[in-house]
Amino acid sequence: MKNTDEVPFWKVALWLAFIVLPLWGVYEYRRYHPSSPVALPSDTLTSTIQYAQDTLSEIEQDIPKTQWIFSKDSLLYNVSALIAFFKNLHQLQQGDTLKVHIAFYGDSQIEGDRVTFYLRHFFQKNFGGNGIGFVPWLSLANHLYVKKRVFSDNWERYSIFPFRGKYPYMGISGNLYRFSDSSAWLRWELRSYAHYDSVFLLWGRAKKPLTISIVLKDSLIYHDTLPAIGYFEQRYLPIPPNTTTFFIRFQSKESPDFYGFAFDGKQGVQIDNYAIRGHTGQGWFYVAPSYLALQLRRRHTKLIILEYGGNALPYLKKESLPWFERKFAQVVQWFRKTVPEIPILIVGVGLMGYYDEGQIPQCYEVLPLVVALQRRIAKRFHCAFWDAYKAMGGNKALAYWIEKKMIAQDLAHLSPAGQKLLAKKLYQSIKKAYENYLLAAQ
């Protein structure tokens, strides 16, 4: 006789699915996403806009007087957050041989080594160092130091933006690259002005051994099989300094994760450009913080620069400013929690505009408000803030930048002349603050 009180297995499985899957989803989300940022002083629309407007002319009476010693150019704020970085610069000037890496994260405004190309030159000229730093495996924009990159046709790129699934072990730039089949190759040609001492392969998460063969001028100079690894590694490659052309073949039963090359100097300031076109920084929420922290520390990172926010600007209205403030705060908080010991400098959104119906260039109305909110977030999370908008002259300067051909036709990206000027102003602000720090320390 059939027991009518017995619950069918499919019902039990269904109820378990309803209970377990949501709990698993919450676990995964909290594992790879930041917790909600600390409550912002104003979450309402009116108070947020009012704060932004007030900030445009505030005197910041609540900032300790010692901080004014470091902030005399009125472009760089919360400079006390950079003291650890200044100590590293001072060590270099005292003859120390350490490496001081600056990790510059941003969007297409710095893609292909824009801005950082010039910023690197200014730093290395005054504080020593050579090398071009990190160069991604593949990129949508041409790199200023790379003349040509040729690859086998079995490479695939994965990125935190656009999102391609939830894979927490992404590379230091937010990208990774893999090959299909059992082997792949690449051939790079750098420009003649690319000077460096050492080449490193940034890779990791290898389930199978990897064989590497390097060819220079038709001669095999290196052949080795690396064991499987479950973590990130910065592997030295015996490519002679300042080599412009090299060929590498990789062989493995299963592709590991490749992140890029680093062309470094032996000492001094190195600047690594980690740009992703269209990115707002929120893609990092899907990355395991511990894995990015490992990579940044292995790269001797002493300063992180964040340049995000410009991609949201064309879509922002006054009504959406509280939303922007919360999202941007989450990005900053994510980096602050990931590597709390590394100073962070936020570069505010610079001069951007659009053409109205009469084809007259106009600045976005909310731009100064967005910059003010970024500045507040920087202060809240003890980050330095550099006002690129103010450095470029504000709304009234758009016509000048167009006339001098320092901004592109899209009124968003900078021309090489504009990139150089912006990099120079940023460097001058940092250097002036550093000099004032030395005076205060005496």
Does residue 178 have a pLDDT over 70? yes
Spatial CA neighbour of 162 closest among 172, 175, 144, 180: 175
Convert the pLDDT of each residue in 386-421 to its tens digit: 999 999 999 889 999 999 999 999 999 999 999 999
What pLDDT does residue 11 have?
A: 46
Contact indicator for 366, 325 with CB cutoff of 8 Å: no
- For the chain, give every domain's residue range: 33-98+300-442
Weakest-pLDDT range from 41-55, 73-87, 317-331: 41-55
What pLDDT does residue 279 have?
A: 93
Cβ contacts of 180 within 8 Å, gap of 6 or more: 154, 156, 255
C-alpha 402/C-alpha 324 separation (Å) is 28
Weakest-pLDDT range from 4-8, 99-103, 369-373: 4-8
Contact indicator for 342, 303 with CB cutoff of 8 Å: yes
Q: What is the mean pLDDT of residues 291-298?
A: 97
Q: Which residue has the higher pLDDT, 332 or 24?
A: 332
What pLDDT does residue 140 have?
A: 81
- Class for domain 33-98+300-442, per CATH? alpha beta
Cα–Cα separations (whole angstroms), residue 320 to 226, 325, 339, 379, 425: 51, 9, 30, 21, 31
Does residue 302 have a pLDDT over 60? yes
Q: What is the mean pLDDT of residues 242-261?
A: 98
Instruction: Residue 307: count other Cβ atoms within 10 Å of its Cβ.
Output: 24
Cα–Cα separations (whole angstroms), residue 139 to 37, 112, 242, 321, 420: 32, 8, 22, 32, 22
Q: What is the pTM of this model?
A: 0.86
Cβ contacts of 156 within 8 Å, gap of 6 or more: 177, 178, 179, 180
Does residue 12 have a pLDDT over 50? no
